[in-house]
A and B are shown apart, each in its own frame.
Chain A
Protein backbone atom coordinates (compact mmCIF):
# COMPACT_ATOMS: atom_id res chain seq x y z
CA UNK A 1 0.00 0.00 0.00
CA UNK A 2 1.33 3.40 -0.88
CA UNK A 3 0.92 6.36 1.39
CA UNK A 4 0.83 9.91 0.09
CA UNK A 5 1.94 12.70 2.36
CA UNK A 6 -1.09 14.58 3.59
CA UNK A 7 -1.09 18.26 2.68
CA UNK A 8 -2.17 20.58 5.44
CA UNK A 9 -2.63 24.32 5.57
CA UNK A 10 0.02 26.59 7.08
CA UNK A 11 -0.28 27.21 10.85
CA UNK A 12 -2.62 30.02 11.77
CA UNK A 13 -0.36 32.81 12.79
CA UNK A 14 -2.82 35.61 13.13
CA UNK A 15 -6.29 35.93 14.55
CA UNK A 16 -7.75 38.93 12.78
CA UNK A 17 -6.73 42.54 13.18
CA UNK A 18 -6.48 42.37 16.95
CA UNK A 19 -4.06 39.44 16.74
CA UNK A 20 -1.90 41.39 14.29
CA UNK A 21 -1.88 44.42 16.60
CA UNK A 22 -0.97 42.34 19.62
CA UNK A 23 1.81 40.49 17.83
CA UNK A 24 3.37 43.46 16.05
CA UNK A 25 2.79 46.43 18.31
CA UNK A 26 2.30 45.22 21.89
CA UNK A 27 4.59 42.29 22.57
CA UNK A 28 6.95 42.08 24.24
CA UNK A 29 6.51 44.91 26.76
CA UNK A 30 9.18 47.24 25.27
CA UNK A 31 7.43 47.09 21.93
CA UNK A 32 4.28 48.26 23.64
CA UNK A 33 6.23 51.12 25.20
CA UNK A 34 7.66 52.11 21.82
CA UNK A 35 4.21 52.00 20.29
CA UNK A 36 2.79 54.28 22.97
CA UNK A 37 5.64 56.77 22.63
CA UNK A 38 5.17 56.78 18.84
CA UNK A 39 1.47 57.44 19.13
CA UNK A 40 2.14 60.30 21.53
CA UNK A 41 4.77 61.79 19.16
CA UNK A 42 2.51 61.51 16.13
CA UNK A 43 -0.35 63.09 18.07
CA UNK A 44 1.61 66.02 19.45
CA UNK A 45 3.68 66.85 16.36
CA UNK A 46 0.97 66.00 13.87
CA UNK A 47 -1.67 67.83 15.84
CA UNK A 48 0.33 71.02 15.99
CA UNK A 49 1.18 70.77 12.29
CA UNK A 50 -2.44 70.36 11.31
CA UNK A 51 -3.42 73.21 13.61
CA UNK A 52 -0.80 75.45 12.04
CA UNK A 53 -1.75 74.42 8.48
CA UNK A 54 -5.38 75.30 9.16
CA UNK A 55 -4.60 78.74 10.58
CA UNK A 56 -1.67 79.64 8.31
CA UNK A 57 -2.08 82.67 6.03
CA UNK A 58 -2.03 80.78 2.71
CA UNK A 59 -3.15 83.91 0.85
CA UNK A 60 0.54 84.69 0.47
CA UNK A 61 0.64 81.71 -1.91
CA UNK A 62 -2.69 82.16 -3.65
CA UNK A 63 -2.26 85.86 -4.35
CA UNK A 64 1.26 85.34 -5.68
CA UNK A 65 0.55 82.08 -7.49
CA UNK A 66 1.41 83.46 -10.90
CA UNK A 67 4.78 84.71 -9.61
CA UNK A 68 5.54 81.33 -8.09
CA UNK A 69 4.62 79.50 -11.28
CA UNK A 70 6.09 81.67 -14.03
CA UNK A 71 7.98 84.56 -12.38
CA UNK A 72 7.76 87.78 -14.34
CA UNK A 73 6.57 86.13 -17.54
CA UNK A 74 4.24 88.75 -19.16
CA UNK A 75 0.69 88.05 -17.84
CA UNK A 76 -0.93 88.47 -21.25
CA UNK A 77 1.44 85.80 -22.64
CA UNK A 78 0.91 83.21 -19.90
CA UNK A 79 -1.34 81.28 -22.31
CA UNK A 80 1.91 80.15 -23.97
CA UNK A 81 2.96 78.40 -20.77
CA UNK A 82 -0.50 76.85 -20.49
CA UNK A 83 -0.28 75.67 -24.09
CA UNK A 84 3.00 73.95 -23.29
CA UNK A 85 1.47 72.32 -20.20
CA UNK A 86 -1.48 71.10 -22.27
CA UNK A 87 0.88 69.71 -24.88
CA UNK A 88 2.77 67.91 -22.14
CA UNK A 89 -0.54 66.63 -20.73
CA UNK A 90 -1.49 65.19 -24.11
CA UNK A 91 1.87 63.40 -24.38
CA UNK A 92 1.65 62.24 -20.77
CA UNK A 93 -1.77 60.78 -21.54
CA UNK A 94 -0.32 58.99 -24.58
CA UNK A 95 2.53 57.60 -22.48
CA UNK A 96 -0.01 56.47 -19.88
CA UNK A 97 -1.95 54.62 -22.57
CA UNK A 98 1.15 52.73 -23.68
CA UNK A 99 2.89 52.24 -20.36
CA UNK A 100 2.13 49.84 -17.56
CA UNK A 101 0.39 50.31 -14.24
CA UNK A 102 2.98 52.82 -12.99
CA UNK A 103 2.63 55.18 -15.94
CA UNK A 104 -1.12 54.88 -15.62
CA UNK A 105 -1.03 55.70 -11.89
CA UNK A 106 1.12 58.77 -12.46
CA UNK A 107 -0.96 60.03 -15.36
CA UNK A 108 -4.27 59.50 -13.57
CA UNK A 109 -2.93 61.33 -10.50
CA UNK A 110 -1.90 64.18 -12.79
CA UNK A 111 -5.37 64.31 -14.35
CA UNK A 112 -6.98 64.20 -10.90
CA UNK A 113 -4.76 67.09 -9.74
CA UNK A 114 -5.71 69.21 -12.73
CA UNK A 115 -9.35 68.37 -12.12
CA UNK A 116 -9.04 69.40 -8.47
CA UNK A 117 -7.30 72.68 -9.35
CA UNK A 118 -9.96 73.31 -11.97
CA UNK A 119 -12.79 72.86 -9.45
CA UNK A 120 -10.96 75.00 -6.86
CA UNK A 121 -10.56 77.86 -9.35
CA UNK A 122 -14.15 77.65 -10.64
CA UNK A 123 -15.07 80.73 -8.64
CA UNK A 124 -12.00 82.79 -9.43
CA UNK A 125 -11.86 81.97 -13.14
CA UNK A 126 -8.96 80.57 -15.12
CA UNK A 127 -10.31 77.05 -14.79
CA UNK A 128 -10.51 76.50 -18.57
CA UNK A 129 -6.88 75.44 -18.95
CA UNK A 130 -7.11 73.01 -16.05
CA UNK A 131 -10.03 71.21 -17.64
CA UNK A 132 -8.34 71.39 -21.05
CA UNK A 133 -5.42 69.51 -19.50
CA UNK A 134 -7.70 66.84 -18.08
CA UNK A 135 -9.24 66.45 -21.54
CA UNK A 136 -5.79 66.35 -23.17
CA UNK A 137 -4.68 63.57 -20.84
CA UNK A 138 -7.87 61.62 -21.47
CA UNK A 139 -7.60 62.06 -25.26
CA UNK A 140 -3.95 60.99 -25.29
CA UNK A 141 -4.75 57.97 -23.14
CA UNK A 142 -7.61 56.80 -25.32
CA UNK A 143 -5.55 57.41 -28.47
CA UNK A 144 -2.71 55.07 -27.57
CA UNK A 145 -4.38 52.54 -25.28
CA UNK A 146 -3.55 49.03 -26.49
CA UNK A 147 -1.13 50.34 -29.10
CA UNK A 148 2.21 49.55 -27.49
CA UNK A 149 3.91 49.57 -30.90
CA UNK A 150 3.56 53.37 -30.95
CA UNK A 151 6.03 53.60 -28.07
CA UNK A 152 8.99 54.88 -30.03
CA UNK A 153 6.85 57.51 -31.82
CA UNK A 154 5.62 58.85 -28.49
CA UNK A 155 9.24 59.00 -27.25
CA UNK A 156 10.16 60.93 -30.40
CA UNK A 157 7.16 63.23 -29.86
CA UNK A 158 8.42 64.03 -26.34
CA UNK A 159 11.78 65.02 -27.76
CA UNK A 160 10.17 67.21 -30.44
CA UNK A 161 7.86 68.72 -27.83
CA UNK A 162 10.90 69.71 -25.80
CA UNK A 163 12.25 71.87 -28.62
CA UNK A 164 8.76 73.08 -29.53
CA UNK A 165 8.34 74.18 -25.91
CA UNK A 166 11.50 76.28 -26.02
CA UNK A 167 10.25 77.82 -29.27
CA UNK A 168 6.75 78.60 -27.96
CA UNK A 169 8.14 80.20 -24.79
CA UNK A 170 10.88 82.14 -26.55
CA UNK A 171 8.80 83.33 -29.49
CA UNK A 172 9.78 85.13 -32.68
CA UNK A 173 11.25 88.59 -32.96
CA UNK A 174 8.75 91.30 -34.03
CA UNK A 175 5.90 88.82 -34.30
CA UNK A 176 2.37 89.82 -33.41
CA UNK A 177 1.16 86.41 -32.25
CA UNK A 178 4.29 85.08 -30.60
CA UNK A 179 6.35 88.10 -29.51
CA UNK A 180 9.83 87.46 -28.24
CA UNK A 181 10.01 86.96 -24.49
CA UNK A 182 13.59 87.26 -23.28
CA UNK A 183 14.73 84.49 -21.00
CA UNK A 184 15.28 87.10 -18.27
CA UNK A 185 11.49 87.15 -17.88
CA UNK A 186 11.35 83.39 -17.26
CA UNK A 187 11.07 82.56 -13.58
CA UNK A 188 9.44 80.56 -10.82
CA UNK A 189 8.56 76.90 -11.21
CA UNK A 190 8.76 77.38 -14.99
CA UNK A 191 12.44 78.29 -14.74
CA UNK A 192 13.15 75.50 -12.26
CA UNK A 193 11.56 73.03 -14.67
CA UNK A 194 13.33 74.36 -17.75
CA UNK A 195 16.73 74.32 -16.04
CA UNK A 196 16.23 70.76 -14.79
CA UNK A 197 14.79 69.39 -18.02
CA UNK A 198 17.48 70.99 -20.16
CA UNK A 199 20.06 69.71 -17.67
CA UNK A 200 18.66 66.17 -17.73
CA UNK A 201 18.07 65.99 -21.49
CA UNK A 202 21.53 67.24 -22.43
CA UNK A 203 23.65 65.86 -19.60
CA UNK A 204 22.47 62.31 -20.28
CA UNK A 205 23.98 61.85 -23.77
CA UNK A 206 26.97 63.97 -22.80
CA UNK A 207 27.59 61.82 -19.73
CA UNK A 208 27.29 58.60 -21.71
CA UNK A 209 29.81 59.90 -24.26
CA UNK A 210 32.20 60.96 -21.48
CA UNK A 211 31.92 57.56 -19.80
CA UNK A 212 32.65 55.79 -23.08
CA UNK A 213 35.45 58.27 -23.74
CA UNK A 214 37.06 57.53 -20.41
CA UNK A 215 37.17 53.84 -21.29
CA UNK A 216 38.34 54.50 -24.86
CA UNK A 217 41.44 52.75 -26.13
CA UNK A 218 42.55 56.02 -27.70
CA UNK A 219 44.74 57.66 -25.04
CA UNK A 220 43.95 61.28 -25.93
CA UNK A 221 40.17 60.77 -25.77
CA UNK A 222 40.51 58.86 -22.53
CA UNK A 223 42.79 61.53 -21.06
CA UNK A 224 40.50 64.44 -21.93
CA UNK A 225 37.38 62.65 -20.69
CA UNK A 226 39.08 61.77 -17.41
CA UNK A 227 40.42 65.30 -16.99
CA UNK A 228 37.00 66.83 -17.64
CA UNK A 229 35.21 64.47 -15.25
CA UNK A 230 37.73 64.89 -12.44
CA UNK A 231 37.98 68.68 -12.74
CA UNK A 232 34.22 69.24 -12.81
CA UNK A 233 33.65 66.80 -9.96
CA UNK A 234 36.28 68.58 -7.94
CA UNK A 235 34.46 71.92 -8.09
CA UNK A 236 31.19 73.00 -6.37
CA UNK A 237 28.19 73.72 -8.59
CA UNK A 238 28.10 77.33 -7.37
CA UNK A 239 31.60 77.83 -8.75
CA UNK A 240 30.61 76.31 -12.07
CA UNK A 241 27.61 78.64 -12.22
CA UNK A 242 29.77 81.68 -11.47
CA UNK A 243 32.32 80.60 -14.07
CA UNK A 244 29.52 80.14 -16.60
CA UNK A 245 28.12 83.63 -15.79
CA UNK A 246 31.30 85.63 -15.61
CA UNK A 247 34.14 83.81 -17.33
CA UNK A 248 32.47 82.22 -20.35
CA UNK A 249 31.45 85.56 -21.97
CA UNK A 250 35.07 86.67 -21.80
CA UNK A 251 36.11 83.78 -24.04
CA UNK A 252 33.27 84.04 -26.53
CA UNK A 253 33.25 86.57 -29.40
CA UNK A 254 31.03 89.66 -28.98
CA UNK A 255 28.20 88.44 -31.26
CA UNK A 256 27.95 85.07 -29.50
CA UNK A 257 26.64 86.48 -26.24
CA UNK A 258 24.60 83.82 -24.47
CA UNK A 259 22.00 85.27 -22.14
CA UNK A 260 22.11 84.58 -18.41
CA UNK A 261 19.66 81.70 -18.36
CA UNK A 262 21.33 79.91 -21.23
CA UNK A 263 24.65 80.29 -19.40
CA UNK A 264 23.09 78.82 -16.27
CA UNK A 265 21.63 75.95 -18.32
CA UNK A 266 25.06 75.28 -19.78
CA UNK A 267 26.60 75.34 -16.31
CA UNK A 268 24.06 72.90 -14.85
CA UNK A 269 24.34 70.59 -17.87
CA UNK A 270 28.13 70.48 -17.93
CA UNK A 271 28.21 69.90 -14.19
CA UNK A 272 25.66 67.08 -14.25
CA UNK A 273 27.37 65.44 -17.22
CA UNK A 274 30.48 64.70 -15.18
CA UNK A 275 28.48 62.92 -12.47
CA UNK A 276 26.40 61.15 -15.08
CA UNK A 277 29.60 59.90 -16.69
CA UNK A 278 30.80 58.34 -13.45
CA UNK A 279 27.44 56.64 -12.87
CA UNK A 280 27.39 55.26 -16.39
CA UNK A 281 30.97 54.08 -16.05
CA UNK A 282 29.90 52.04 -13.02
CA UNK A 283 27.26 50.41 -15.21
CA UNK A 284 29.73 49.74 -18.01
CA UNK A 285 31.99 47.91 -15.58
CA UNK A 286 29.09 45.73 -14.49
CA UNK A 287 28.67 44.24 -17.98
CA UNK A 288 30.57 40.91 -18.04
CA UNK A 289 33.40 40.65 -20.56
CA UNK A 290 31.78 37.48 -21.93
CA UNK A 291 28.99 39.65 -23.36
CA UNK A 292 31.44 41.71 -25.38
CA UNK A 293 33.34 38.59 -26.50
CA UNK A 294 30.15 36.86 -27.63
CA UNK A 295 29.11 39.95 -29.60
CA UNK A 296 32.55 40.31 -31.19
CA UNK A 297 32.57 36.62 -32.08
CA UNK A 298 29.37 37.24 -34.08
CA UNK A 299 31.22 39.83 -36.15
CA UNK A 300 29.61 42.93 -34.59
CA UNK A 301 31.79 46.03 -34.76
CA UNK A 302 32.84 47.94 -31.63
CA UNK A 303 30.13 50.56 -32.27
CA UNK A 304 27.36 47.98 -32.67
CA UNK A 305 28.56 46.10 -29.58
CA UNK A 306 28.38 49.33 -27.57
CA UNK A 307 24.95 50.33 -28.87
CA UNK A 308 23.17 46.95 -28.77
CA UNK A 309 24.92 44.97 -26.07
CA UNK A 310 26.89 47.09 -23.61
CA UNK A 311 24.86 50.29 -23.16
CA UNK A 312 21.42 48.68 -22.77
CA UNK A 313 22.75 46.45 -19.99
CA UNK A 314 24.90 49.16 -18.40
CA UNK A 315 22.13 51.79 -18.28
CA UNK A 316 19.66 49.31 -16.81
CA UNK A 317 21.97 48.73 -13.86
CA UNK A 318 22.43 52.42 -13.15
CA UNK A 319 18.78 53.56 -13.24
CA UNK A 320 18.67 54.17 -9.46
CA UNK A 321 21.84 56.33 -9.29
CA UNK A 322 20.85 58.19 -12.46
CA UNK A 323 17.44 59.04 -11.04
CA UNK A 324 19.11 60.11 -7.78
CA UNK A 325 21.29 62.36 -9.88
CA UNK A 326 18.24 63.83 -11.64
CA UNK A 327 16.53 64.43 -8.31
CA UNK A 328 19.69 66.12 -7.02
CA UNK A 329 19.94 68.20 -10.19
CA UNK A 330 16.29 69.27 -9.87
CA UNK A 331 16.89 70.52 -6.33
CA UNK A 332 20.31 72.01 -7.09
CA UNK A 333 18.79 74.33 -9.68
CA UNK A 334 17.82 76.50 -6.68
CA UNK A 335 21.48 77.55 -6.60
CA UNK A 336 20.95 79.67 -9.71
CA UNK A 337 19.42 82.24 -7.32
CA UNK A 338 23.01 83.06 -6.39
CA UNK A 339 23.75 84.32 -9.87
CA UNK A 340 20.59 86.40 -9.87
CA UNK A 341 18.01 84.15 -11.49
CA UNK A 342 14.48 83.94 -10.06
CA UNK A 343 13.69 80.26 -9.72
CA UNK A 344 10.92 78.92 -7.48
CA UNK A 345 12.89 79.42 -4.25
CA UNK A 346 14.13 82.87 -5.24
CA UNK A 347 10.57 83.94 -6.08
CA UNK A 348 9.63 82.82 -2.58
CA UNK A 349 12.30 85.09 -1.13
CA UNK A 350 11.21 88.04 -3.26
CA UNK A 351 7.59 87.52 -2.22
CA UNK A 352 8.67 87.64 1.43
CA UNK A 353 10.30 91.00 0.75
CA UNK A 354 6.93 92.53 -0.11
CA UNK A 355 5.71 94.61 2.85
CA UNK A 356 2.27 92.99 3.09
CA UNK A 357 3.72 89.49 3.35
CA UNK A 358 6.50 90.15 5.85
CA UNK A 359 7.05 87.35 8.35
CA UNK A 360 5.28 84.61 6.41
CA UNK A 361 8.44 82.51 5.95
CA UNK A 362 6.75 79.34 7.19
CA UNK A 363 3.97 79.43 4.63
CA UNK A 364 6.26 80.26 1.72
CA UNK A 365 9.01 77.76 2.51
CA UNK A 366 6.58 74.96 3.34
CA UNK A 367 4.89 75.57 0.00
CA UNK A 368 8.19 75.58 -1.92
CA UNK A 369 9.37 72.45 -0.10
CA UNK A 370 6.03 70.75 -0.84
CA UNK A 371 6.30 71.50 -4.55
CA UNK A 372 9.85 70.12 -4.69
CA UNK A 373 8.83 67.06 -2.70
CA UNK A 374 5.95 66.16 -5.00
CA UNK A 375 8.07 66.19 -8.15
CA UNK A 376 11.02 64.40 -6.54
CA UNK A 377 8.73 61.74 -5.13
CA UNK A 378 7.15 61.12 -8.53
CA UNK A 379 10.61 60.68 -10.08
CA UNK A 380 11.66 58.35 -7.30
CA UNK A 381 8.47 56.28 -7.54
CA UNK A 382 8.73 56.05 -11.34
CA UNK A 383 12.34 54.88 -11.18
CA UNK A 384 11.54 52.26 -8.54
CA UNK A 385 8.76 50.85 -10.68
CA UNK A 386 10.91 51.06 -13.81
CA UNK A 387 13.60 48.98 -12.14
CA UNK A 388 11.07 46.27 -11.34
CA UNK A 389 9.62 46.37 -14.84
CA UNK A 390 13.03 46.10 -16.49
CA UNK A 391 14.04 43.24 -14.19
CA UNK A 392 12.24 40.84 -16.56
CA UNK A 393 15.22 40.11 -18.75
CA UNK A 394 17.74 40.04 -15.92
CA UNK A 395 20.15 37.18 -15.44
Chain B
Protein backbone atom coordinates (compact mmCIF):
# COMPACT_ATOMS: atom_id res chain seq x y z
CA UNK B 1 0.00 0.00 0.00
CA UNK B 2 1.44 3.33 -1.02
CA UNK B 3 0.97 6.20 1.33
CA UNK B 4 -0.81 9.34 0.25
CA UNK B 5 0.77 12.76 0.60
CA UNK B 6 -0.61 14.86 3.46
CA UNK B 7 -0.72 18.02 1.35
CA UNK B 8 -2.87 16.34 -1.33
CA UNK B 9 -5.97 18.46 -2.01
CA UNK B 10 -9.52 17.43 -1.14
CA UNK B 11 -11.11 16.31 -4.42
CA UNK B 12 -14.50 15.17 -3.06
CA UNK B 13 -16.21 16.94 -0.17
CA UNK B 14 -19.58 15.64 1.04
CA UNK B 15 -21.35 17.44 3.84
CA UNK B 16 -24.54 16.21 5.48
CA UNK B 17 -25.77 14.39 2.34
CA UNK B 18 -29.37 13.15 2.57
CA UNK B 19 -31.38 11.17 0.04
CA UNK B 20 -34.90 9.83 0.04
CA UNK B 21 -36.58 7.33 -2.31
CA UNK B 22 -40.14 8.57 -1.99
CA UNK B 23 -40.48 8.42 1.82
CA UNK B 24 -37.67 5.98 2.41
CA UNK B 25 -34.67 7.71 3.99
CA UNK B 26 -31.69 5.98 2.36
CA UNK B 27 -28.83 8.40 3.11
CA UNK B 28 -28.92 10.01 6.54
CA UNK B 29 -26.35 12.76 6.65
CA UNK B 30 -23.13 11.46 5.13
CA UNK B 31 -19.96 13.46 5.78
CA UNK B 32 -16.92 12.32 3.84
CA UNK B 33 -13.86 13.96 2.35
CA UNK B 34 -11.63 12.23 -0.17
CA UNK B 35 -8.12 13.38 -1.02
CA UNK B 36 -6.67 13.27 -4.50
CA UNK B 37 -4.96 9.92 -5.11
CA UNK B 38 -6.77 8.24 -2.23
CA UNK B 39 -8.19 4.72 -2.60
CA UNK B 40 -11.36 4.21 -0.59
CA UNK B 41 -13.16 0.93 -0.07
CA UNK B 42 -16.80 1.29 0.96
CA UNK B 43 -18.44 -1.81 2.44
CA UNK B 44 -21.52 -2.71 4.38
CA UNK B 45 -24.65 -4.86 4.26
CA UNK B 46 -26.93 -4.68 1.23
CA UNK B 47 -29.44 -1.85 1.47
CA UNK B 48 -27.03 0.21 3.57
CA UNK B 49 -26.93 2.99 0.95
CA UNK B 50 -23.31 2.52 -0.14
CA UNK B 51 -24.16 2.18 -3.85
CA UNK B 52 -26.66 5.04 -3.68
CA UNK B 53 -23.97 7.17 -2.05
CA UNK B 54 -21.35 6.72 -4.75
CA UNK B 55 -24.04 7.28 -7.37
CA UNK B 56 -24.77 10.70 -5.87
CA UNK B 57 -21.16 11.69 -6.54
CA UNK B 58 -21.70 11.71 -10.34
CA UNK B 59 -25.37 12.53 -9.86
CA UNK B 60 -26.84 9.34 -11.23
CA UNK B 61 -28.83 9.85 -8.03
CA UNK B 62 -29.80 13.32 -6.89
CA UNK B 63 -29.19 14.21 -3.23
CA UNK B 64 -31.91 16.25 -1.60
CA UNK B 65 -30.05 17.91 1.25
CA UNK B 66 -26.44 18.81 1.99
CA UNK B 67 -23.61 19.65 -0.40
CA UNK B 68 -21.35 17.62 -2.64
CA UNK B 69 -18.32 19.37 -4.12
CA UNK B 70 -16.26 17.49 -6.69
CA UNK B 71 -13.00 18.98 -7.96
CA UNK B 72 -14.12 22.44 -6.83
CA UNK B 73 -17.53 22.27 -8.55
CA UNK B 74 -20.68 21.99 -6.48
CA UNK B 75 -23.33 19.53 -7.73
CA UNK B 76 -26.56 21.44 -8.29
CA UNK B 77 -29.37 21.30 -10.82
CA UNK B 78 -27.14 23.18 -13.26
CA UNK B 79 -26.81 20.76 -16.19
CA UNK B 80 -23.45 22.21 -17.25
CA UNK B 81 -21.97 21.47 -13.84
CA UNK B 82 -23.30 17.93 -13.96
CA UNK B 83 -21.74 17.32 -17.38
CA UNK B 84 -18.46 18.92 -16.30
CA UNK B 85 -18.28 16.66 -13.26
CA UNK B 86 -19.29 13.50 -15.11
CA UNK B 87 -16.52 14.14 -17.61
CA UNK B 88 -14.01 13.98 -14.74
CA UNK B 89 -15.49 10.89 -13.07
CA UNK B 90 -15.37 7.39 -14.53
CA UNK B 91 -17.78 4.75 -13.31
CA UNK B 92 -17.78 0.96 -13.45
CA UNK B 93 -21.02 -0.92 -12.78
CA UNK B 94 -21.82 -4.31 -11.34
CA UNK B 95 -23.57 -5.37 -14.56
CA UNK B 96 -20.86 -3.90 -16.89
CA UNK B 97 -23.43 -1.95 -18.95
CA UNK B 98 -21.38 -2.12 -22.13
CA UNK B 99 -23.24 -0.95 -25.21
CA UNK B 100 -24.22 -4.23 -26.93
CA UNK B 101 -24.63 -2.73 -30.42
CA UNK B 102 -21.11 -1.28 -30.53
CA UNK B 103 -17.78 -3.07 -30.82
CA UNK B 104 -15.31 -2.96 -27.93
CA UNK B 105 -13.32 -0.24 -29.69
CA UNK B 106 -16.47 1.82 -30.37
CA UNK B 107 -17.61 1.38 -26.76
CA UNK B 108 -14.35 2.91 -25.56
CA UNK B 109 -13.90 5.66 -28.16
CA UNK B 110 -17.51 6.96 -28.31
CA UNK B 111 -17.39 9.37 -25.35
CA UNK B 112 -13.86 10.69 -26.04
CA UNK B 113 -14.96 11.55 -29.59
CA UNK B 114 -18.29 13.18 -28.73
CA UNK B 115 -17.70 14.62 -25.27
CA UNK B 116 -13.97 15.41 -25.33
CA UNK B 117 -14.23 16.17 -29.10
CA UNK B 118 -11.05 14.29 -29.87
CA UNK B 119 -10.42 13.08 -33.41
CA UNK B 120 -11.33 9.49 -34.25
CA UNK B 121 -7.64 8.65 -34.69
CA UNK B 122 -6.73 9.99 -31.27
CA UNK B 123 -9.71 8.34 -29.55
CA UNK B 124 -9.01 4.97 -31.17
CA UNK B 125 -5.32 5.21 -30.36
CA UNK B 126 -6.18 5.79 -26.70
CA UNK B 127 -8.70 2.95 -26.78
CA UNK B 128 -6.11 0.58 -28.24
CA UNK B 129 -3.55 1.58 -25.61
CA UNK B 130 -6.10 1.05 -22.81
CA UNK B 131 -7.07 -2.38 -24.15
CA UNK B 132 -3.38 -3.31 -23.94
CA UNK B 133 -3.26 -1.96 -20.39
CA UNK B 134 -6.22 -4.13 -19.29
CA UNK B 135 -4.75 -7.09 -21.14
CA UNK B 136 -7.21 -7.72 -24.01
CA UNK B 137 -5.87 -5.87 -27.10
CA UNK B 138 -7.00 -8.72 -29.37
CA UNK B 139 -10.72 -8.18 -28.55
CA UNK B 140 -10.99 -4.66 -30.04
CA UNK B 141 -13.33 -5.55 -32.89
CA UNK B 142 -15.59 -7.99 -31.07
CA UNK B 143 -19.00 -7.22 -29.62
CA UNK B 144 -19.51 -7.32 -25.84
CA UNK B 145 -21.67 -10.46 -26.07
CA UNK B 146 -18.70 -12.34 -27.50
CA UNK B 147 -16.56 -11.69 -24.39
CA UNK B 148 -16.46 -13.37 -20.99
CA UNK B 149 -17.73 -11.49 -17.94
CA UNK B 150 -14.23 -10.69 -16.75
CA UNK B 151 -13.26 -9.38 -20.18
CA UNK B 152 -16.44 -7.28 -20.36
CA UNK B 153 -15.70 -5.67 -17.01
CA UNK B 154 -12.13 -4.91 -18.10
CA UNK B 155 -13.53 -3.23 -21.24
CA UNK B 156 -15.87 -1.24 -18.98
CA UNK B 157 -12.87 -0.07 -16.94
CA UNK B 158 -11.04 0.88 -20.15
CA UNK B 159 -14.14 2.74 -21.35
CA UNK B 160 -14.24 4.81 -18.16
CA UNK B 161 -10.48 5.45 -18.26
CA UNK B 162 -10.60 6.64 -21.89
CA UNK B 163 -12.13 9.92 -20.71
CA UNK B 164 -8.99 10.40 -18.61
CA UNK B 165 -11.00 10.99 -15.44
CA UNK B 166 -9.58 12.26 -12.16
CA UNK B 167 -11.81 9.98 -10.09
CA UNK B 168 -13.03 6.40 -10.64
CA UNK B 169 -16.14 4.97 -9.00
CA UNK B 170 -16.56 1.19 -8.77
CA UNK B 171 -20.02 -0.12 -7.86
CA UNK B 172 -19.53 -3.77 -6.86
CA UNK B 173 -17.41 -4.45 -9.97
CA UNK B 174 -16.81 -8.15 -9.24
CA UNK B 175 -20.18 -9.19 -7.78
CA UNK B 176 -21.57 -10.47 -11.09
CA UNK B 177 -18.46 -12.45 -11.98
CA UNK B 178 -17.58 -16.12 -11.71
CA UNK B 179 -14.84 -16.73 -9.11
CA UNK B 180 -12.10 -17.41 -11.66
CA UNK B 181 -12.76 -14.06 -13.36
CA UNK B 182 -12.70 -11.93 -10.24
CA UNK B 183 -8.94 -11.94 -10.05
CA UNK B 184 -8.39 -10.60 -13.56
CA UNK B 185 -10.59 -7.60 -12.77
CA UNK B 186 -9.03 -7.01 -9.33
CA UNK B 187 -5.56 -7.12 -10.92
CA UNK B 188 -6.53 -4.27 -13.25
CA UNK B 189 -8.00 -2.31 -10.31
CA UNK B 190 -4.88 -2.88 -8.22
CA UNK B 191 -2.65 -1.63 -11.00
CA UNK B 192 -4.91 1.42 -11.33
CA UNK B 193 -4.77 2.12 -7.58
CA UNK B 194 -0.98 1.97 -7.65
CA UNK B 195 -0.87 4.46 -10.51
CA UNK B 196 -2.25 7.13 -8.16
CA UNK B 197 -5.89 7.26 -9.34
CA UNK B 198 -8.48 8.51 -6.85
CA UNK B 199 -10.81 5.54 -6.39
CA UNK B 200 -14.04 4.89 -4.52
CA UNK B 201 -14.83 1.18 -4.57
CA UNK B 202 -17.96 -0.41 -3.23
CA UNK B 203 -16.80 -4.00 -2.85
CA UNK B 204 -16.66 -6.94 -0.46
CA UNK B 205 -13.29 -8.13 -1.76
CA UNK B 206 -11.50 -7.76 1.57
CA UNK B 207 -8.20 -9.07 0.18
CA UNK B 208 -8.22 -6.26 -2.36
CA UNK B 209 -9.18 -3.74 0.36
CA UNK B 210 -6.34 -4.92 2.59
CA UNK B 211 -3.82 -4.72 -0.22
CA UNK B 212 -4.56 -1.35 -1.79
CA UNK B 213 -7.07 0.72 0.23
CA UNK B 214 -5.84 3.80 2.09
CA UNK B 215 -9.07 3.97 4.00
CA UNK B 216 -12.09 1.73 4.54
CA UNK B 217 -15.55 3.11 5.17
CA UNK B 218 -18.36 1.07 6.74
CA UNK B 219 -21.97 1.92 5.88
CA UNK B 220 -25.06 0.67 7.67
CA UNK B 221 -28.67 1.80 7.41
CA UNK B 222 -27.84 4.94 5.44
CA UNK B 223 -25.15 6.10 7.83
CA UNK B 224 -21.37 6.16 7.79
CA UNK B 225 -20.69 4.08 10.92
CA UNK B 226 -16.94 3.77 10.98
CA UNK B 227 -13.83 4.50 8.96
CA UNK B 228 -10.12 3.83 9.24
CA UNK B 229 -7.13 2.20 7.63
CA UNK B 230 -7.55 -1.47 6.68
CA UNK B 231 -5.33 -2.33 9.64
CA UNK B 232 -7.60 -0.45 12.07
CA UNK B 233 -10.76 -1.91 10.56
CA UNK B 234 -9.61 -5.52 10.40
CA UNK B 235 -7.67 -5.68 13.66
CA UNK B 236 -9.50 -3.29 15.91
CA UNK B 237 -12.96 -2.25 14.75
CA UNK B 238 -14.58 0.19 17.18
CA UNK B 239 -18.27 -0.39 16.47
CA UNK B 240 -20.26 -3.52 17.29
CA UNK B 241 -21.99 -3.49 13.92
CA UNK B 242 -18.68 -3.36 12.06
CA UNK B 243 -17.39 -6.33 14.07
CA UNK B 244 -20.57 -8.28 13.41
CA UNK B 245 -20.49 -7.60 9.67
CA UNK B 246 -16.80 -8.42 9.32
CA UNK B 247 -17.21 -11.67 11.27
CA UNK B 248 -20.00 -12.65 8.89
CA UNK B 249 -18.15 -12.01 5.65
CA UNK B 250 -14.71 -13.18 6.83
CA UNK B 251 -16.18 -16.33 8.48
Question: What residues make up the interface of A, taking CB atoms closer than 8 Å to B?
Answer: 288, 290-291, 293-301, 304, 308-309, 312-313, 316, 392-395
Contacts and interface: CB of A to CB of B under 8 A. Distances in A.
Given A299-B83, A393-B144, 8 more contacts: A291-B99, A293-B97, A294-B97, A297-B90, A298-B111, A299-B87, A300-B115, A313-B100
A394 to B, nearest CB: 6
B111 A300 contact: yes
Given A290-B95, A393-B143, A297 B86 contact: yes
A308 B110 contact: yes
B32 interface: no
21 contacts: A293-B60, A294-B156, A297-B60, A297-B89, A297-B160, A298-B86, A298-B90, A298-B115, A298-B159, A298-B160, A299-B86, A299-B87, A299-B115, A300-B110, A301-B83, A313-B99, A392-B143, A393-B103, A393-B145, A394-B100, A395-B100
B156 to A, nearest CB: 8
A162 B103 CA distance: 32
Contacts of A296: 60, 86
Contacts, number: 69
B102 interface: yes
B208 interface: no
A395 B145 contact: yes
B97 A291 contact: yes
A89 B91 CA distance: 50
Nearest to A395: B100
B234 interface: no
Contact of A294 (B89, B99, B103, B145): B99
User: Top 7 closest A-B pairs, CB basis?
Assistant: A294-B97, A298-B111, A299-B87, A297-B91, A299-B86, A290-B97, A393-B143
A309 B60 contact: no
A313 B143 CA distance: 14
B245 interface: no
A268 to B, nearest CB: 31
A309 B111 CA distance: 11
Contacts of A297: 58, 60, 86, 89-91, 160
Contacts of B103: 393
